[in-house]
Amino acid sequence: MKKKVLLMGNHDTGSGKTSMRSIIFSNNLASATSRFGATIDVEMNHVRFLGSLVLNLWDCGGQETFLDSYLASQRNTIFRDVGVLIYVFDVETRDFERDISYYIECLDACRKNSPEADIFVLIHKMDLVTGGKRERTRAFELKKRELDKYSGSTPIKMFGTSIWDETLYKAWSRIVHTLIPNAPLLSSHLTSFAKICSAIEIVLFERTTFLIIARSGTSTGDLDDVIPPEAGPDSDPNVINPERFEKVSQLIKAFKVSCSRMQEQFHSMEIRFPNYTAVLELMTTNTYVMAIVADPNVQTATLRLNIRLARERFEELQAGSAG
């Protein structure tokens, strides 16, 4: 199955489209992206995701001359058969008005040519907002409210992102999640698998990108389902960090890059902390599974054995998921 993914946004200075693409799909570290030059015209990439799903990434250069030509002469080629449109804004933009006018035009072109397309908006470079989390949330809300006015009848999912933290993984896993047709089925299987393992939580990641595909504990397959409301730091020891999946994605991805410097490849990991045990292991050829267990009597070896036994079933499920 092939899906066309458009990465767009208008910026003369570079809003970071190529950087985020390379971090998610090419195992680059955030610090390595400063070397990237501007994208000229459109760079096309085929990325294999979950084995049989091919993402056809169109990384569209953001300079105005290019945008003008996308909207005029190339309009049909660019905006036809789009599966996902990802429109990127720079949070610190100098000319928001102009950004919006291009955004409206792109949105319009996309809806006319590919009415089925899912549309996402990323407010990028959130790390440039000075202050803490509250300031960033406020800056994001401000932009979101502004953009909602122009987004038309259908609601558009928006994320504040930065290549320097887990927000990038959050946004991208929500994006690819829309491309996995049987996510609810995977979730329900993970939920029963978690029961078998006495695990608190079992999460499935895609192997190369480490984006979350599914997790236990949700009935609908929606990743944001039943996440406990965010509390103040350390207010309640039982609150699970709501950003944990993205954090794991980010941590393991960065660690994988470090391992490759040793001429070795990351393969599996197990951790026994005083308060929980985690096992991260290959599930199928294209996925990693992470099991979190709080019961101290559950041994990592048992978890590994269970994972090995579940492997065949999940291979079958996943073959169905990528169709």
Partner 1 sequence: MRPRQMRPSTRPEPDPPRVPSAKSLAGSKDPHRRKILVLGLRRAGKTAIQEVVFHGMSPRDTFFIEPTFRVSKEDVNTIIPLQLWDCPGGMPVENLDVLLDAFSTLVFVIDIQDEYSHAISKLVHLMAMVYTVHPLINIEVFVHKAESMSEDYKIDNFRQLQERVYDETIDHPLPLENLQITFHLTSVYDHTIYEAWSRVIQKLIPPLAALENLLNVLCSNSGLSKAFLFDIKTLTHVAADESPPDATTYGLCCEYIQTLLQFSNLYKYPQSSRTHQPLPPPQLTSTHTPSSSIPARKGTQPLSIPNSKTSRPPPANSTHSSAPSTLSNTSVDLDPADSRVWSTSSVRLKPQTTLAYWEITNQLSLVALIRSETYEASQGLIDYNVTFFRKAIHRIVDIEKAKWPSGD
| Binding-site string for partner 1 from residue 214 to residue 253, where x marks contact by CB under 8 A and - marks none | -----------------------xxxxx--x--xx--xx-
Residues 151 and 85 sit within 8 Å (Cβ to Cβ): no
Q: Footprint of partner 1 on residues 114-133 (CB under 8 A)?
A: none
Is residue 308 close enough to count as binding partner 1 by CB under 8 A? no
Is residue 265 close enough to count as binding partner 1 by CB under 8 A? yes
Residues 162 and 89 sit within 8 Å (Cβ to Cβ): no
Is residue 262 close enough to count as binding partner 1 by CB under 8 A? yes
Is residue 36 close enough to count as binding partner 1 by CB under 8 A? no
Q: Helix (H, G, I), strand (E, B), or coil: what is residue 298?
A: coil
Residue 48: other Cβ atoms inside 10 A: 13
Q: How far is the CB of 126 from partner 1 (least distance, A)?
A: 14
Q: Footprint of partner 1 on residues 46-105 (CB under 8 A)?
A: none
Q: How far is the CB of 260 from partner 1 (least distance, A)?
A: 9
Q: Which residues contact 277 (CB under 8 A, 6 or more apart)?
A: 270, 271, 292, 293, 294, 296, 298, 300, 303
Backbone dihedral region of 93: left (phi > 0), alpha (psi from -120 to 50 degrees) or beta?
A: beta
Residue number, 118 or 281, with CB nearest to partner 1: 281
Residue number, 132 or 155, with CB nearest to partner 1: 132
Q: Which stretch binds partner 1 (CB under 8 A): 51-59, 117-125, 148-156, 258-266?
A: 258-266
Is residue 273 close enough to count as binding partner 1 by CB under 8 A? yes
Is residue 203 close enough to count as binding partner 1 by CB under 8 A? no
User: Of 193, 213, 187, 184, nearest to 50 (Cα)?
Assistant: 213
Is residue 156 close enough to count as binding partner 1 by CB under 8 A? no
CB-facing half-sphere around the CA of 150: CA atoms within 13 A = 17
Length of the chain: 323
HEC-encoded secondary structure of 215-261: ECCCCCCCCCCCCCCCCCCCCCCCCCCCCHHHHHHHHHHHHHHHHHC
Is residue 296 close enough to count as binding partner 1 by CB under 8 A? yes
Is residue 153 close enough to count as binding partner 1 by CB under 8 A? no
Contacting positions for partner 1 (CB under 8 A):
31, 164, 200-201, 237-241, 244, 247-248, 251-252, 254-255, 258-259, 261-262, 264-276, 278, 292, 294-296, 299
